[in-house]
Amino acid sequence: MLDFAIFAVTFLLILASRQASGIPGLAPTDEKDGNLPDITASGSLHEFLVNLHEKYGPLVSFWFGRRLVVSLGSIDLLKQHANPNRLLDPFETMLKSFLRYQSSLNGDTGESHLRRKLYENGVTKSLQSNFALIQKLSEELLAKWLSLPEAQHVPLCQHMLGFAMKSVTQTAMGSSFEDDREVIRFRRNHDAIWFEIGKGFLDGSLDKNMTRKKLYEDALMEMESTLRKVTKERRGRSFNRHVLIDSLLQGSLSDQQILEDTMIFSLAGCVITANLCTWAVYFLTTSEEVQQNLYKEVDRVLGKGPITPEKIEQLRYCRQVLCETVRTAKLTPIAAQLQELEGRVDQHTIPKETLVLYALGVMLQDSSSWPSPYKFDPERFNEESAMKNLSMLGFSGSQECPELRFAYMVATVLLSVLVRKLYLHPVKGQVMETKYELVTSPKEEAWITVSKRS
Ligand SMILES: *[C@@H]1O[C@H](CO)[C@@H](O)[C@H](O)[C@H]1NC(C)=O
Ligand SMILES: *[C@@H]1O[C@H](CO)[C@@H](O)[C@H](O)[C@H]1NC(C)=O
């Protein structure tokens, strides 16, 4: 059964089976499932694409069920394919298709452009309005770590998820999430939904197990009803802290659209922020030199004063650390675009309505774009051209998605608060394995230790 193939949900508009148009790649191993068994055997779509590109080069094809998919694995090919005027955010498009929300693909472009602007501005404005809150949450985490006995192992993923979740829920929905019980409930549903989005859709196991499917749908429903309730409470009233829902309520959106946008931000904002913070702190533990450089910059720019939105602009090295974190961790390894009109990449034609994957994880470890690609080296982003390459991939500059922009800001505040007072250390002998889903995370808990800076 193939009705699970995620992309199918919104992309399976046209089911005509196509010829592989001469693009190198795999023939289907299964008549119905195409290459899905191969993807499952590789462990993840990202790992499958790494192998495929290694074997067949930067342009490859394979089959999602009966649908031909083309994957691009180099920055040069991406440059040829990407349309700088496109409105779609590939990450959001994928997430929406998982949640079975109407993709803006079907909307009139003028309207979806406005909706997108409203969302982006809403994220920016609510972040400004909640800057002090993010600072407070960072200070709380610092206080917690300072109170630990030295050498105590800190469960990094768990703490970062908690921190991200408080930041995101309060920025998106306001003070009802100051109540820890609300956050815990949110977290339960969030975890249940992400578990299936990361795994069950991609390997088809969700549709084969009714118990899991029910758990997933119940979690989604409970989350939606929370979001509806908050929206209703805030409609027509004013509060001293502006949150994302307030911005959305000011536009001419339907209730369903408000629900979808808040859901996307709550889900994607949490995972992206949590994992950016986790990986950044983890990579810092692996390099005393980078940590010291970061400390020096924070000390020079902030002195004894607090961090402010204006000061963030001056924390250039910190931004390099975060960019290098995104690159080394391959934070979001896959993006997808639907080929609207027939197009060309290299000498190959890509037929209309082909699903085109951007194998970002492959491009981020390509040694022809990034010398010593497995090395965590923020210095590489000293060069303007490296920044340009990263922004081509949507991880920086004007193409960066609002959730990532939010995450960069939150992570900057957190790092500046932490490195001023603490040394971050690795736990010896820990082997860090990686789980590549829609967002990349450590496979198991990542442990660190901290000590006070004297
Ligand atoms: C279905 O999922 C439930 C809950 O995760 C699990 O306990 C059960 O073993 C699964 N059933 C099958 C047949 O895999
Ligand atoms: C940017 O990418 C291009 C094309 O892959 C590559 O030639 C160039 O070396 C990259 N620049 C840097 C600084 O990584």
Q: Which residue has its alpha carbon closest to ligand 2 atom 12?
A: 386
Q: Which amino acid is it at 195?
A: F
| The predicted structure's pLDDT at residue 2 | 29
Determine the atom of ligand 1 nearest the C-alpha atom of 205: 14
Q: Which residue has its alpha carbon closest to ligand 1 atom 5?
A: 212
Task: Name the token pair of 238.
Answer: 């004013």
Does residue 211 line the site of ligand 1, with CB under 6 A? yes
| The predicted structure's pLDDT at residue 245 | 93
- In order of 46, 118, 219, 314, 378, the CA distances from 317 in angstroms are 29, 31, 40, 9, 8
Predicted model pTM: 0.92
Transcribe 25-76 into DSSP letters: BPPPSBTTTBTHHHHHHHSSHHHHHHHHHHHH-SEEEEEETTEEEEEE-SHH
| The predicted structure's pLDDT at residue 293 | 98
Residue position matching structure tokens 């068994």: 37
For the chain, the structural domain boundaries read: 1-107+331-364
Ligand at shortest distance from the CA of 75: 2
- What is the 437 CA–ligand 2 centroid distance (Å)? 26
- What is the 281 CA–ligand 2 centroid distance (Å)? 27
d(CA 142, CA 130): 19
Q: Which residue has its alpha carbon closest to ligand 2 atom 10?
A: 369
Transcribe 280-333 into DSSP letters: HHHHHHH-HHHHHHHHHHHHHHHTTSPP-HHHHHH-HHHHHHHHHHHHHHTSS-
Q: Which residue has its alpha carbon closest to ligand 1 atom 13?
A: 209
Burial string for 108-137 (b: 16+ CB within 10 Å, else e) reads eeeebeebbebbeebbbbbbebbbebbbeb
> What are the average pLDDT values for consecutive 10-residue runs of the chain, which has 454 residues?
36 42 86 86 92 96 86 92 62 76 59 85 93 96 95 96 95 88 91 82 74 92 94 89 92 90 92 97 97 97 93 96 98 85 85 87 95 96 93 86 94 98 95 92 96 90
- What is the 3 CA–ligand 1 centroid distance (Å)? 20
Does residue 76 line the site of ligand 2, with CB under 6 A? yes
Substitution candidate for ligand 2 out of 385, 390, 391, 395 with most atoms within 8 A of CB: 385
Does residue 199 line the site of ligand 1, with CB under 6 A? no
| The predicted structure's pLDDT at residue 447 | 97
| The predicted structure's pLDDT at residue 15 | 38
| The predicted structure's pLDDT at residue 204 | 64
Does residue 209 line the site of ligand 1, with CB under 6 A? yes
| The predicted structure's pLDDT at residue 346 | 85
